[in-house]
């Protein structure tokens, strides 16, 4: 893309990853508050979740992998328990309501949100393979990543849609949803007592699992902005990002969730032209021409193009 246009992509990615981190802190804060019966404020829950996310991201990719390996198993268990507890209130015969144009618009918005969640991985996924042997098969890297992203997204969305179908017909759920998304999740475990609250805490860990890698990648992205940014150690960037997520989630816990819910999918569209440019560069100018990449020149302004075409695109 050239030396300077790549900085634009870095800034956009930096903003996007922090935005998802803020949403994760707010949702986790809502769940913490719901489990505590409202005795623990959402603000305090945001603080706890931001500190957990920052702690995991600060200590590097190894602890991220270790944490996610075990947290994912417990989250699957909690979600399956949720299905067993709340399944009786799922309305599988529910149909989309409203004028055809509105229904179509809602479906397009939902697709855009899911697309934004997945396409954003293209900008950060390479950060999580830095300890792989250099001779690792490309298929071994690509196929598990692709399959896990899609399977997890489809599975969680089916559960989410099922919960949504039960909200209008279940008074306890609709009342909880008026409070927060975290309260709704707790209501789905109604009847399980303290064990239901324990499952919600496990789901809180899921929010941390999703956002610790984003914070880790945002720190690496910041270092690409230039030599001065690179001189700042990654762990310091992680602490700075954690503080940003902490302050924004606490200050904007009542408003930022809805704002970012609409803003972040729009932000994610930058990844489409960026990914197109990267693929064209790789396939057309290197693979087809048989020209290898000069990895020693990746941040050398004298060896990189200006990037006017990429910036215009």
Asked if pLDDT for residue 166 goes beyond 80, the answer is yes
Asked if pLDDT for residue 42 goes beyond 80, the answer is no
- Across the range 196-213, mean pLDDT stands at 82
Q: Which of 33-37, 137-141, 166-170 has the lowest average pLDDT?
A: 33-37
| pLDDT value for 104 | 92
118, 195 contact by CB (below 8 A): no
| Alpha carbon distance 33, 40 (integer Å) | 5
- Across the range 156-166, mean pLDDT stands at 88
| pLDDT value for 257 | 67
- Across the range 219-230, mean pLDDT stands at 86
Q: What does the mean pLDDT of the chain come to?
A: 83
What is the residue extent of each domain of the chain? 3-312
């Amino acid at each position: 893309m050239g030396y300077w246009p790549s900085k634009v992509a870095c800034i956009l990615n930096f903003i996007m990853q922090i935005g998802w981190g803020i949403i994760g802190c707010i949702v986790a804060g809502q769940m913490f508050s719901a489990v505590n019966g409202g005795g623990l404020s959402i603000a305090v829950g945001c603080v706890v979740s931001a500190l957990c996310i920052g702690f995991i991201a600060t200590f590097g990719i190894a602890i991220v992998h270790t944490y996610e390996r075990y947290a994912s198993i417990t989250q699957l268990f909690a979600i399956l328990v949720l299905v067993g507890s709340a399944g009786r209130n799922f309305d599988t015969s529910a149909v989309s309501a409203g004028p055809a144009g509105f229904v179509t618009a809602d479906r397009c918005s939902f697709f855009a949100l899911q697309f934004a969640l997945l396409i954003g991985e293209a900008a950060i996924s390479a950060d999580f393979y830095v300890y792989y042997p250099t001779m690792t098969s490309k298929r071994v890297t690509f196929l598990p990543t692709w399959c896990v992203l899609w399977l997890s997204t489809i599975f969680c969305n089916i559960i989410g849609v099922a919960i949504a179908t039960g909200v209008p017909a279940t008074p306890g759920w609709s009342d909880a949803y008026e409070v927060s998304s975290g309260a709704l999740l707790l209501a789905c475990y109604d009847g399980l007592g303290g064990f239901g609250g324990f499952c919600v805490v496990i789901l809180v860990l899921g929010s941390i699992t999703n956002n610790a890698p984003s914070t880790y990648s945002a720190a690496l992205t910041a270092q690409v902005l230039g030599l001065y940014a690179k001189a700042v150690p990654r762990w310091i960037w992680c602490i700075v990002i954690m503080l940003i997520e902490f302050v924004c989630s606490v200050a904007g816990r009542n408003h930022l969730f809805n704002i970012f819910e609409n803003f972040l999918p729009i932000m994610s569209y930058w990844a489409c032209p960026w990914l197109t440019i990267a693929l064209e560069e790789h396939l057309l100018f290197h693979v087809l021409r048989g020209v290898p990449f000069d990895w020693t020149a990746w941040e050398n302004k004298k060896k990189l193009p200006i990037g006017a075409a990429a910036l215009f695109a």
